[in-house]
C-alpha cells in the first residue's frame, strides 16, 4: 500500500454517494483515508439513491488471495510468522468490516438519518482498526496481502443485499457478534506470546465492536417494529432462509449483553 495524503471533498457531496465511492476504492490506504475524510466532512443525506455499481463490489487490492477458510493456514503463536498470520487474519476481517459498513451506508434508502450516521461511525472505527493492524503487521515484517484470506463475511453481506432487515440480523448481530466471543482468547494468546502491542489493539477493537453489534441490534429491532414482526421468530426464519452459520460457544455473554442482546436471547447462548 502506498502512502496517501488526506483527502478533501468538494461540494456538492452527499453521504451515501461518497460511501459508495469509498466502497469501490481498491487500495486499502486510500480507502482508509477516504473514510476518515468522509467522517469529518459532515455530508448531507442524498436526496436520491446513488447508482448501483456495474463493476465488482467491494473494491479490493489484488492481494490477499481469497481461499476457502480451511486453506487459510494455521496460526501458531510460537513463531513470529505465525503471529503475523494471525494479525493478518485480523486485518483482513477489519478490512471487510470497513467495506460492510460502507455497503450498509450506501445500499439501503429511506431510513432515519441516525441509521446513516451510525454506520458512518462504524466505517470510521473499522478503518482505524485496519490501519492499526496493518501498521503492526509491518512491524512484524509483513504487509496486508502477504497471506491468503477467506471471504465468508462478505458472502453474507452479498446474500443480504436485497433486505436491510436480513442484513442487520445476520451480519452485525450474527457474524460480527462472533468477534465478541473470539477476541478475548486471541488477545490472551498474543499477550502470552509477548506481543503486548497486538493485545492492546485487540482491547480497542473489542470495546468498539460492542458498539457496532449494538448498532446492528438496535436497527434490527427498529425494523422489526416498523414491519410489525416479532424479533425472535423473525431471526430464526431469516437465519434458516439465508443459511446463516450455526453459532457454537463459548460465548462472551457479558459483551453480548452490553451489545444489546436480551436476556431471552442470551439464554440461547448459555
Q: What is the pLDDT of residue 86?
A: 93
Range among 9-13, 17-21, 54-58, 65-69 with highest mean pLDDT value? 17-21
Mean pLDDT, the chain, integer: 91
Lowest mean pLDDT among 5-9, 90-94, 207-211: 5-9
When pLDDT is averaged across residues 135-150 and rounded to a whole number, the result is: 95
Q: How far is CA 111 from CA 114, 117, 124, 193, in A?
A: 8, 11, 20, 46
- Mean pLDDT, range 143-159, rounded to an integer: 91
Determine phi and psi for 14, rounding to 5 degrees: -125, 155
Confidence of residue 56 (pLDDT cuts 50, 70, 90): low
pLDDT on residue 55: 58
10 has pLDDT over 80: no
Using pLDDT thresholds of 50, 70 and 90, give the confidence band for residue 2. Answer: very low
- What is the rounded average pLDDT of the residues 177-200? 95
User: Does the predicted TM-score (pTM) go above 0.85?
Assistant: yes
Preceding omega of 35 cis (within 30 degrees of 0) = no
Give the integer Cα–Cα distance in Å for 59 and 24: 4
**Model confidence band, residue 202 (pLDDT cutoffs 50, 70, 90):** very high
Q: Which CATH class is domain 15-269?
A: mainly alpha
Asked whether residue 254 carries a pLDDT value surpassing 50, the answer given is yes
Residues 86 and 190 sit within 8 Å (Cβ to Cβ): yes
Return the bridge partners of 149, or none.
Answer: 66
**Average pLDDT value for residue range 82-107:** 95
Work out the number of other CB atoms within 10 angstroms of the CB of residue 9: 15
Range of weakest confidence among 53-62, 151-160, 177-186: 53-62
Domain boundaries, the chain: 15-269
Amino acid at each position: 500500500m502506498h502512502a496517501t495524503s488526506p483527502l478533501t471533498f468538494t461540494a456538492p457531496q452527499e453521504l451515501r454517494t461518497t460511501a459508495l465511492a469509498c466502497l469501490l476504492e481498491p487500495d486499502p490506504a486510500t480507502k482508509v483515508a477516504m473514510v476518515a475524510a468522509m467522517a469529518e466532512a459532515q455530508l448531507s443525506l442524498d436526496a436520491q439513491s446513488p447508482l448501483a455499481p456495474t463493476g465488482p463490489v467491494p473494491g479490493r487490492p489484488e492481494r490477499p488471495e481469497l481461499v476457502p477458510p480451511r486453506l487459510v493456514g494455521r496460526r501458531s503463536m510460537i513463531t513470529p510468522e505465525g503471529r503475523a498470520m494471525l494479525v493478518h487474519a485480523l486485518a483482513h476481517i477489519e478490512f471487510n468490516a470497513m467495506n460492510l459498513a460502507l455497503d450498509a451506508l450506501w445500499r439501503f434508502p429511506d431510513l432515519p438519518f441516525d441509521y446513516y450516521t451510525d454506520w458512518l461511525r462504524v466505517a470510521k472505527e473499522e478503518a482505524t482498526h485496519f490501519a492499526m493492524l496493518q501498521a503492526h503487521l509491518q512491524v512484524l515484517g509483513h504487509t496486508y496481502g502477504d497471506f491468503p484470506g477467506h471471504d465468508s463475511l462478505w458472502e453474507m453481506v452479498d446474500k443480504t443485499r436485497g433486505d436491510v432487515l436480513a442484513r442487520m440480523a445476520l451480519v452485525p448481530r450474527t457474524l460480527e457478534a462472533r468477534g465478541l466471543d473470539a477476541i478475548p482468547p486471541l488477545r490472551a494468546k498474543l499477550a502470552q506470546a509477548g506481543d503486548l502491542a497486538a493485545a492492546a489493539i485487540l482491547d480497542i477493537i473489542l470495546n468498539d465492536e460492542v458498539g457496532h453489534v449494538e448498532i446492528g441490534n438496535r436497527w434490527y429491532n427498529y425494523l422489526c417494529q416498523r414491519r410489525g414482526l416479532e424479533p425472535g421468530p423473525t431471526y430464526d426464519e431469516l437465519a434458516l432462509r439465508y443459511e446463516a452459520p450455526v453459532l457454537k460457544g463459548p460465548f462472551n455473554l457479558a459483551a453480548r449483553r452490553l451489545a444489546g442482546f436480551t436476556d431471552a436471547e442470551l439464554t440461547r447462548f448459555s
